[in-house]
Amino acid sequence: MRLLFVSNGPTEDAIGARIAQGLGLEAYALPLVGRGKPYEGIAREILGPRQEMPSGGFLFGSLENLLADLRAGFLSMSWAQWRTAWRFEPQVVVVVGDAYALSVGVLAARGCPVYHVNPLVSAHYLEQASWIEVLLDWGGSDFTPYERLLHRRVRAVFVRDEASLRRLRSLGVAHAHWYGSFAMDLLPPPERDLTPYLGTDPLLALLPGTRGDEAFSLPLMLEASRHLPLTPAVAWAKDWSRLPPLSGWQAEEVDANTLRLEKEGRTAWVLRGAFSAILHRSRLALATAGTATEQAAGLGIPVIGFPTPGPQYTRAFARRQKRLLGKALHLVEPDPYQIAGQGLILLQAPEAYAQASQAGKERIGPPGGIPGTVEHVYRDLHQLGLVRGVC
């Protein structure tokens, strides 16, 4: 069994790796964005150039992103990926991503079974969207005729939420399925006990992201946190050396994964390897991230976001995420006093807080997307005679 995973993004890679792990079959991976690190130790081989682009996968997020990627060799990298897909001879293809990734997967399949996992498109993106917003992000906001044409070559399509299931089936794709949220499946149990450092008080989660927006957003978040009655904890995934300049904050490394910041009597914590631990202790979140914001909302944590210069959390991206999360996400201007002011409103208005909390749980949905997909694909392969036994 040669099972090929085609995915185009860090979250998509993580979902694909989890599905591959659950299936327990000989897997190969072709990541179209970045190096595909989640597949390491799971896939027998990671194919393709595995080249990082400046935009981090947000090629059309802005003109600057597009030009930077083109200068970095995006076209030659893409050609190498298509050539790799054509030369590989899989028996089964699982695509995790958008219509572009599906195009590559269908090319690689050449008649063998294909399964499409689309964790990107949501019917919620169409809510209160102007025609120009839908047009500019058509493939990300709705299932396009081209994608639905490709679905004729697919044995099953797995979507991210129940609203998208209804939408896709109404468009004639009867073999669409929804088993739960992929994003919530990726959220692990709390990684460690934060009590020795942070005590037992509720936390303010600071989620600046990992795509480059953090250089702009983290200083604003920390400044806003000084005016909120919660202990701020930054979920950080990079080396300490990658922290942006934090004016006025004095840093002390407590251990290899814990940094304490002090400014005018206010303490903030920067923590590595503690993302889930932070979320499970948080009452409110400040976020300029993608999947991390969705996971916070899915846990019922109201989120405050604000646009950055990019590359990811631009004004257009923020508005798009607002349509996805509804009342769970409150967008303000990138000003620490506006950020803190919105936080105080939520903390001091129980009804507004409850509405935001419930909206996040409903929009994101419960976990179950990954194990449901694994069981469905394995069962289908068994019926096709490609595997034996029961998953």
3 state SS of 152: helix
SS3 content of the chain, % helix, strand, coil (to 5): 45, 20, 35
Please give the average per-residue pLDDT across 206-219, as a whole number: 93
Residue 390: pLDDT over 50: no
CA 362 to chain centre: 17
Fold (CATH) for 3-186+367-383: Rossmann fold (3.40.50)
Question: Residue 380 burial (CB < 10 Å; 0-12/13-18/19+)?
Answer: middle
Structure tokens at 8: 């185009």
> Each residue of 49-58: pLDDT tens digit?
766 756 665 5
Tens of pLDDT along 245-283? Answer: 999 999 999 999 999 999 999 999 999 999 999 999 999
Q: In the structure, what pLDDT confidence band is assigned to residue 239 with cuts at 50, 70 and 90?
A: very high
Nearest to 4 by CA among 71, 100, 102: 102
Burial class (CB in 10 A: 0-12, 13-18, 19+), 38: buried
Residue 139 reports pLDDT greater than 80: no
Q: What's the pTM value of the predicted model, to 2 decimals?
A: 0.88
Q: Are 224 and 241 in contact (CB under 8 A)?
A: no
Q: Which pLDDT band holds residue 76 (cuts at 50, 70, 90)?
A: confident
**What are the start and end residues of each CATH 3.40.50.2000 domain in the chain?**
3-186+367-383, 195-364
pLDDT over 90 percentage in the chain = 76
Residue 331's CB is within 10 A of a number of other CB atoms, namely 16
Query: What's phi and psi for 89, nearest 5 deg?
Result: -125, 85
pLDDT of 141 reads: 79
pLDDT, residue 312, reads: 86
**Residue 204 three-state SS:** strand
pLDDT of residue 336: 97
Tokens linked to 241? 């050396």
Give the per-residue pLDDT at 56: 60
Average pLDDT over every residue of 101-122? 94
Q: Which fold has domain 195-364?
A: Rossmann fold (3.40.50)
pLDDT over 70, % of the chain: 91
**pLDDT 10s digits, 286-309:** 999 999 999 999 999 999 999 999
Please report the pLDDT score of residue 391 as a whole number. Answer: 40
